[in-house]
Amino acid sequence: MTETGLQDLVRGSLDHCVKCTICETACPVSNVTPLFPGPKYVGPQAERFRVGDEPSVEWSVDYCSGCGICTQVCPQEVKIAEINAHARGKLKRQEGVPLRDRIITRPTVLGRLGTPVAPVANLALRLRPARILAEKLLSVHRDAPVPKFAGHRFSRWARKRTSPKSERRIVYFHGCGTEYYEPWEGQKVVAVLEHNGYEVEVPKQDCCGLPLQSSGLFDDARKVVLRLARALAPYVRDGNTIIVGNATSCTLMLKREAREILGLEDDPDLKLVSERTYDICELLDELHDRGELRTDFQPVPETIAYHAPCQQQGHWIGKPALELFRLIPELEVREMTARCCGIAGTYGLKAEKYEIAMDVGRPLFEQVGASGATTVACDSETCRWQITHATDRPSVHPIDLLHRAYGL
Amino acid sequence: MRGELHFDVVVIGVGTAGLTAGTRLAEGGARVCVVAKGVGSTHLAPGTIDVLGYGPDRVEQPARALQELIAAQPEHPYSLLGAERVEEALEWFRATAAGGPFEGYTYLGGLDRNHLLPTAVGVLRPSALIPETMAAGDGESRVCVVGTPPLRDFHASLCAANLFQAGVPARSVQLKVEGQRADANALGLARTFDDAQRRAAFCADLSLHLRGEDRVGLPAVLGLDDPHGVWRDLEHRLGRPVFEIPTLPPSVPGMRLFEILRSAFRRAGGRLVLGSEVVAAERSDARVTAVRARAAGGEMRYVAPWIVLASGGFASGAIELDSRWVTSDRVLGLPLHGVPEAGQPRFVEPYLGDHPMARAGVAVDGELRAEGCENVLVVGASLPGAEPWREGSGEGIALASGFRAAEVVLSSERAAAEAPA
């Protein structure tokens, strides 16, 4: 399918909109700010006024956080979030891209620069004057949650070791969050997979392009995601091996968003990678369904809150993490029902959007506060950083709890 | 194809019927997964449980009218279900709502008599089981209907004028809500009313405009977090009964109804997959063995010995009438019943008339089993034989059929377990 063909498919879905407003009931952003009039208005309605190469007349689409909940709840299969993403891409081409958006959307560059000088970089990122300066120069909000560089890369650790040989091979896509900021999460993923009899292979890999895509830098995003697809595809051509990732927004990018939003439906490598990529909890849940997951779990006598991030919900598989938590003895889980933490990747870092993001997340932060939970489990790293920033509660990937319960 | 998951029952659709069936099944110990492409009709409907409003004249006592309907229309869903089941389902729902996520927010009424509640245009509409926040709408004493400019589709003056015509002494007041955006919908206003301070300011302002009215009617925006608390607070501050009047979508009481059922389903241990459209069914003889649903990166296969079809009728797109006049069940491809024969009238002249086509649905037997498919049970608006929007019967059918489907599955499983090997 050509790029235009696919975009027509996305755009064409707007004719299915019956203006029922169900997307508006679910939109986390329009419910807290008048700057974003809502997915129905900005999506299927305003799209009718966006004609070919003519300049866009509607700017509020830039306040869409791209969480994708509108598409998920739409009973008429309108690709609302995807329409909005296209509109934002067009707007950015028309209006130009701020320097900030060119910087914060490149986790690989930031990670490579920050890792060797981690102590200094981490200090600078927490120095008030430096943050005020960054806000003035780059419009990155002074209070926005920024992660700490770990100072060592996950891939270094992975390269130094060999996974025990096994019939069942699996490819691990760790993403940038694990690579530069939370390498220990990756080590836990590997340990849990090996405990379940997998031989884990960690190919050389890079960013999935999601931050670029969600800021409307489509051309750059295409290059980046295709580079990743080329790197991963050779490992799964045997028709048997699968790819698993713990960064749920990055696995969603590979599975669906790059194909739908960036118009890459035709790329054979991306298609293959898309079909063979699993979210880690999705995989373990399916293993359990088949009776292949080890369940030698020790009790974890704790109360935790679980928040399923919007991007995890975009996999359209329910909440497999909750099914896995049920297997852990004595673990009390409070399912959060508030929809979104607000951060949406890089949205909540932006000076003009930070307050909106915090308002979006407030119901969730209040639920976490009232839950009596000591820890928050959540599948997406940027959401975890935002939740910890707002609630002062530690947050972990669900795999963390499984790792603990296995006693690894 | 991605992977597959196994359940005891897969329910397709997340409206009132699907969630009722799913919750009852999970409460009965079944492993249930509800798969739906999006949120259902709850968010668009008034949030009341209408059992039988017109038959075709306005119904005062649903229990009696139900008996008459069952006697006169053997193909109607209520005739398959029986009045007792409707009663049981309502009983269950009342208890579920009372024990639900909104503290103190209860549903009132039953089959004895219909409440007469004002619509947004001031017509009195019959409903059997209603949120407590609407109850004071039923009455003949003096009413002040309050509108607010941002809610452009709620015209307090029109509502009051029509109520007056219907014999209810009514007048209207138009009032600003502080800090409200210019084009708010009901949901935006509900968030405002959740805020105690802004609510207090609104009440102080409104008190100055009230005269000797016995009741105050407001659009249904009295909060999403704590509707009982918000409603009580308003009654306290205004010193008289307050009631909600359903608005155009989004429907705040409808969202509460969804949340009551969704949280009951989750509490009972059910699994919910939202955003995933069922695109194919795998069949083996007279059974559907699995359904395939869209997921990111491919299709998921949901395998279960029982399927509950709660995908809705024409309005949800689950049943389709195409440009060649072919009707079909787009979800599982099951045979339909009630489709007018070629040459017979499909539609009638008045727009809101009794259209023969409207009674089409998935063909079932007396136990809601789909024709030719013994393990698929059909519920809610997927059923043939009814015209809910004319009868005022949608939620009653949804609740009772969802309730019944769960009963059929659980009793069949019990019988199979007890049968000698």
pLDDT by position in tens, chain B (length 421): 578 999 999 999 999 999 999 999 999 999 999 999 999 889 999 999 999 999 989 999 999 999 999 999 999 999 999 999 999 999 999 999 999 999 999 999 999 999 999 999 999 999 999 999 999 999 999 999 999 988 888 999 999 999 999 999 999 999 988 776 777 889 989 989 999 999 999 999 999 999 999 999 999 999 999 999 999 999 999 999 999 999 999 999 999 999 999 999 999 999 999 999 999 999 998 999 999 999 999 999 999 999 999 999 998 999 999 988 899 999 999 999 999 998 899 999 988 888 999 999 999 999 999 999 999 999 999 999 999 999 999 999 999 999 999 999 999 999 999 987 6
Amino acid letter, B65 = A
Q: What is the DSSP string of B309-336?
A: E---STTTTSEEE-TTS-EEETTT-PPE
The Cα–Cα gap between A10 and A29 comes to 22
User: pLDDT value at position A143?
Assistant: 94
- A11 touches B: beta carbon within 8 Å: no
From the list B6, B181, B297, the residue facing A277 with the nearest CB is B297
Contact B2 A278 (CB under 8 A): yes
- For residues A315-341, give the mean pLDDT: 96
Contact predicate B19/B262, CB 8 Å: yes
* CA-based nearest residue in chain A for residue B5: A289
* CA-based nearest residue in chain B for residue A363: B225
pLDDT in tens, A331-381: 999 999 999 999 998 999 999 999 999 999 999 999 999 999 999 999 999
The CA-atom distances, in angstroms, between A242 and each of A170, A258, A277, A381 are 6, 18, 6, 22
pLDDT in tens, A30-81: 989 989 989 999 999 998 888 877 887 788 999 999 999 999 999 998 999 9
Is residue A1 pLDDT above 50, yes or no? no
Is residue A4 very low, low, confident or very high in pLDDT (cuts 50, 70, 90)? low
The dihedral over CA atoms of B80, B84, B88, B89, expressed in degrees to the nearest 10, equals 30
Strand order in the sheet with B9-12: B271-274, B32-36, B9-12, B306-309, B373-378, B369-370
**Residue B236: CB partners within 8 Å, gap ≥ 6?**
none
The dihedral over CA atoms of B29, B30, B36, B41, expressed in degrees to the nearest 10, equals -50
pLDDT in tens, A228-252: 999 999 999 998 899 999 999 999 9
The Cα–Cα gap between B278 and B335 comes to 17
From the list A252, A274, A316, the residue facing B276 with the nearest CB is A316
Which of A19, A22, A33, A282 should be substituted to probe chain B, the one whose Cβ sees the most B Cβ atoms within 10 Å?
A22
In chain B, which residues fall in CATH 3.50.50.60?
Answer: 4-98+256-418
Is residue A260 pLDDT above 60, yes or no? yes
CA distance B143 to chain A (A): 30
Q: If we measure between CA atoms, which residue out of B401, B382, B389 comes closest to residue B310?
A: B382
Is residue A9 very low, low, confident or very high in pLDDT (cuts 50, 70, 90)? confident
Amino acid letter, B265 = F
The Cα–Cα gap between B413 and B98 comes to 30
Q: Kindly list the residues from chain A whose CB atom is less than 8 angstroms away from the CB atom of residue B39.
A: 22, 25-26, 73, 75
The CA-atom distances, in angstroms, between B14 and each of B275, B311, B370 are 11, 8, 19
Q: Kindly list the residues from chain A whose CB atom is less than 8 angstroms away from the CB atom of residue B300.
A: 316-317
Q: Kindly list the residues from chain B whose CB atom is less than 8 angstroms away from the CB atom of residue A335.
A: 266
Q: What is the DSSP string of A246-296?
A: S-HHHHHIIIIIHHHHTT-TT-HHHHHHHHHEEEHHHHHHHHHHTT-S---
**Element spanning B253, H or E:** helix B252-267
Q: Kindly list the residues from chain A whose CB atom is less than 8 angstroms away from the CB atom of residue B255.
A: 25
Q: Is CATH 2.40.50 the right assignment for the domain spanning B120-245?
A: no
* CA-based nearest residue in chain B for residue A284: B3
Contact A75 B266 (CB under 8 A): no
**Element spanning B115, H or E:** strand B115-118
CA distance B331 to chain A (A): 14
* CA-based nearest residue in chain A for residue B317: A76
The CA-atom distances, in angstroms, between B317 and each of A92, A254, A395, B40 are 36, 30, 41, 11
Q: For B268, which DSSP code?
A: T
Phi then psi dihedrals of residue A21, to 5 deg: 75, 10
Phi then psi dihedrals of residue B215, to 5 deg: -140, 155
CA distance A85 to chain B (A): 17
The CA-atom distances, in angstroms, between B358 and each of A291, A294, B46 are 46, 52, 21
Q: Kindly list the residues from chain A whose CB atom is less than 8 angstroms away from the CB atom of residue B179.
A: none
Secondary structure E strands in A64-218: 168-173, 198-201
| Ordered alpha helix ranges (H), B195-251 | 196-209, 227-238
Contact B263 A277 (CB under 8 A): no
Strand partners, B127: B115
- B181 touches A: beta carbon within 8 Å: yes
User: pLDDT value at position A6?
Assistant: 55
Which of A317, A319, A379 should be substituted to probe chain B, the one whose Cβ sees the most B Cβ atoms within 10 Å?
A317
Q: If we measure between CA atoms, which residue out of B256, B217, B248 comes closest to residue B235?
A: B217
* CA-based nearest residue in chain A for residue B4: A286
Contact A72 B294 (CB under 8 A): no
Counting every residue written for chain A, the total comes to 408
- B220 touches A: beta carbon within 8 Å: no
| Ordered alpha helix ranges (H), B28-152 | 62-72, 77-81, 83-98
Which of B7, B37, B248, B261 should be substituted to probe chain A, the one whose Cβ sees the most A Cβ atoms within 10 Å?
B37
User: pLDDT value at position A52?
Assistant: 77
Contact predicate A313/A72, CB 8 Å: yes
The Cα–Cα gap between A255 and B295 comes to 9
Helix, strand or coil for residue B173? strand
The Cα–Cα gap between B414 and B421 comes to 13
Q: Kindly list the residues from chain A whose CB atom is less than 8 angstroms away from the CB atom of residue B3.
A: 278, 282, 286, 289
Which of B11, B12, B14, B273 should be substituted to probe chain A, the one whose Cβ sees the most A Cβ atoms within 10 Å?
B273
Which of A9, A15, A21 should be substituted to probe chain B, the one whose Cβ sees the most B Cβ atoms within 10 Å?
A21
Pull the structure tokens for residue A380.
């997406």
- B271 touches A: beta carbon within 8 Å: yes
User: pLDDT value at position A299?
Assistant: 98
* CA-based nearest residue in chain B for residue A248: B296
From the list A37, A275, A318, the residue facing B273 with the nearest CB is A318
User: pLDDT value at position B33?
Assistant: 98
The Cα–Cα gap between A261 and A267 comes to 13
Contact B249 A286 (CB under 8 A): no
The CA-atom distances, in angstroms, between B72 and each of B68, B348, B361, B392 are 6, 22, 19, 17
Q: What is the CATH number of domain A3-95?
A: 1.10.1060.10
Q: If we measure between CA atoms, which residue out of B71, B69, B89, B170 comes closest to residue B123?
A: B170
Across the A:B interface, residue pairs with CB atoms under 8 Å apart total: 104
Q: Which fold has domain A295-406?
A: Rossmann fold (3.40.50)
Which of B12, B177, B187, B265 should be substituted to probe chain A, the one whose Cβ sees the most A Cβ atoms within 10 Å?
B187
CA distance A44 to chain B (A): 17
- CB crowding A371-400: b at 16 or more within 10 Å, else e: bebebbbbbbbbbbbbbbbbbebebbbbbb
Which of B152, B267, B274 should be substituted to probe chain A, the one whose Cβ sees the most A Cβ atoms within 10 Å?
B274
Helix, strand or coil for residue B244? strand
User: pLDDT value at position B162?
Assistant: 97
CATH class of B4-98+256-418: alpha beta
Note which residues in 207-266 of chain A have CB less than 8 A from chain B: 252, 254-256
Is residue A151 very low, low, confident or very high in pLDDT (cuts 50, 70, 90)? very high
Contact A22 B277 (CB under 8 A): no
Q: What is the DSSP string of A61-101?
A: GGG-----HHHHH-TT---HHHHHHHHHHHHHHHH---HHH
The CA-atom distances, in angstroms, between A151 and each of A111, A148, A156, A384, A386 are 9, 9, 11, 20, 21
- B191 touches A: beta carbon within 8 Å: yes
Which residue in this structure is represented by tokens 């209040």? Answer: A366
Contact A316 B317 (CB under 8 A): no
CA angle B367, B372, B373 (to 5 degrees): 70
The Cα–Cα gap between B391 and B409 comes to 28
- B4 touches A: beta carbon within 8 Å: yes
Contact A277 B187 (CB under 8 A): no
Pull the structure tokens for residue B328.
């079909």
From the list B38, B271, B273, the residue facing A73 with the nearest CB is B38
Q: For B54, which DSSP code?
A: B
Contact B39 A73 (CB under 8 A): yes
**Element spanning A187, H or E:** helix A183-195
Contact predicate A166/A145, CB 8 Å: no
- Write down the domain spans for chain A: 3-95, 295-406
The Cα–Cα gap between B263 and B284 comes to 34
Is residue A7 very low, low, confident or very high in pLDDT (cuts 50, 70, 90)? low
Cβ neighbours, 10 Å, residue B126: 22
